[in-house]
Structure 1
Amino acid sequence: MTTTTSLQHHTLRINGMKMHYVTAGEGEPLVLLHGWPQTWYEWNHVIPLLARKYRLIVPDLRGAGDTGRPVSGYDKRTMANDIIALLDHLGIPDFFLAGHDFGGAVSYALAAQHRARVRALAIVEMVLPGFGYEEAMKMTPDGGGLWHFTFHMADNVAEMLLEGREREYLSFFYREYSYNPDAVDARALEEYVQHYSAPGAMRATMGYYRTIFKDAADNRAWAQEKLTMPVLAIAGEASLGDITRQSVSCVAERVTARIVPMSGHWLPEEQPEVLAREFEQFFV
């Protein structure tokens, strides 16, 4: 499945940088935020399914895709306010919101700061900083733990070692953390490699990791008052499973949990039909 002809690309200058975003469909506004190492294109198979019912706003996050790569601002509080600035420009006062991976962390930061504007929230395949993320960084004797979290946090090291090897490195993640290793197809791989190989791109998106302890502090402060809007915590059976629900339940009162069979981390590309159906049932 490919994107529909109604899909439109836009650019806007906000918060001192260019932001690229895609729109499609009509209806209630639904914002979709991508994760690492991806761009808006990770929603490529989901967009045609949801555009029948929703007005979709699908940006490239700060540092990713065709959005600008400023030196700073990769804490999730700032990235969330990039999205709010975009929605203010579009004149959208309230909306549904979904985020995958780091897009989920940005989505929580946005919902926590702008509670009246988020009608319902979905967090896809993410462990929130302050509520499980740091534990996921720790290596265990049996080889558990997400080693790349700490690797990416080391200033300049990842960029230095990965320059010229972006295709090999990204391909490893798409294979290793999937149920179906071909789910991120050749077209998507080219999209991601092109953007993450661009000058400054890897440095920019490593900022998502290097702000984790600030994000954790922000999240713990916001969680003193749990979210009251409906929240969907959804994850792949072959990836985070129930861990996303456990994390999200620390910050939200009304959590619906879903675990998707035959899917790893890349849910929008591994099981787009299932994910779209879950969103349609939840965002009402």
Structure 2
Amino acid sequence: MSHPRPLHCAPVELRQIETNGICANVAVAGSGPAVVLLHGFPHTWRLWSEIIGPLSARYRVIAPDLRGFGATSRASDGYDAGTLAADIAGILDALGEPTAAVVAIDAGTPVAVLLALRYPDLVRRLVVMEALVGTLPGAEDFLVAGPPWWFGFHSVPGLAETVLLGHEARYIAWFLATGTRGRGVREDIHDAFIDAYTGADALRCAFSYYRALPTSAHQIDQAVATHRLTTPTLAIGAHPVGNALERQLRPIADDLTGHVIPDCGHIIPLDRPQELLSLVMPFLAGEQTA
């Protein structure tokens, strides 16, 4: 399937920013109120390639490679949501941004939620997609048959990176095809993602997110025990998560809108970018999206 390049192509500057003991590779584009974009697995900042241009017409878009991913430092530890949230807070401070809207998907979602819970004055608006947040109630239907198979595979220390070494391209390609319901992604993005996840150390970093999930879940439990999610929040689902994330957030959020995009795979920003923009743009502008 051919994928046309986006019509809006704002200039993107890649910056190296010291934060919380790492050097983060950060794509920055546009001017205006800050909007931070947080990717998941198996992505880099280029997950947002179809989104950055339109957003940068109104906002200063800040899209980092998360700790251990892409061109950001392959740290030995710190893959829990709390440390990652501190990474993002440090990036915003280095860029002189006192507040930001945060848009996150997959592994970036628990980071974004914890960022909003711990730094409520920092996060103006929150958009989260296609993920679960720790072990908060509400996702029982999604988890009735257990978590997706790769969660266990990735969680065993040292196993997945050993088994997959030399087979990274086929493994990552499976996630890209499945995450777009077979439609696939642009060839240049496909190749960039595979390159970013090739090699034992790159795989170790990626799977460290899964190995830190119990710690991240505990951090979220602690945060919601004493704080509510006061930031206006938009929870977007697709296939397979659907509205499970919305159900998790509903009891702890003061201002929550939920939406499920039909016929859309897990990798929403690449599978249905225009539908995503039609939800995110008015929400960021403070308009009603429900």
Please name the residue that 1:212 is paired with: 213
Call closer, same or farther: CA 1:173–1:57 in 2, change over 3 Å: same
Structure 2 residue 45 is matched with structure 1 residue 43:
no
| Structure 1 gaps, min length 5 | none
Paired residue secondary structure (2:70):
coil
Matched residue type, 2:175: F
Q: 1:26-76, CA deviations, whole angstroms, 9 ceiling, x for partnerless residues? A: 221100000111000000011111111111000000010100011100001
Counterparts of 2:95 and 2:159 in 1: how far apart (Å)? 39
Task: Tell me what 2:15 maps to.
Answer: 10
The within-5 A match list for 1:106-185 is 106-131=111-136, 140=145, 145-179=147-181, 181-185=182-186
CA distance in structure 2 between the aligned counterparts of 1:166 and 1:134, rounded to whole angstroms: 30
Instruction: Give the aligned partner of residue 231 of structure 2.
Output: 229
Residue 132 of structure 1, CA deviation:
5.5
1:136–1:146 Cα contact (<8 Å) kept: no
Q: Is the 8 A contact 2:162 2:200 kept in 1?
A: no
Q: Which amino acid aligns with 1:219?
A: I
CA distance in 2, matches of 1:274, 1:14: 33
2: distance between equivalents of 1:145 and 1:191? 28
How far apart, CA to CA, are the structure 2 residues paired with 1:264 and 1:131?
23
Partner of 1:274: 275
SS for the counterpart of 2:248 is: helix
Do structure 1's residue 83 and structure 2's residue 88 form an aligned pair?
yes
* Pair 1:113–1:192, CA change in 2 (3 A): same
Aligned-partner Cα distance in 2 for 1:80–1:148: 24
**Aligned residue for 1:241?**
242
SS of 1:249 mapped into structure 2: helix
* TM-superposed deviation, 1:259: 0.7
- TM-score normalised by L of structure 2: 0.91
Evaluate the alpha carbon distance shift between residue 19 and residue 283 of structure 1 in structure 2; reply closer, same or farther with a 3 A threshold.
Answer: same
Distance 1:31 1:62, change over 3 A: same
The alignment's C-alpha RMSD in Å is 1.9
| Structure 2 counterparts to residues 66-77 of structure 1, below 5 A | 66-77=71-82
Q: Is the 8 A contact 1:178 1:239 kept in 2?
A: no
Q: Distance in 2 between matches of 1:39 and 1:274?
A: 21
Q: Match of 1:23?
A: 28
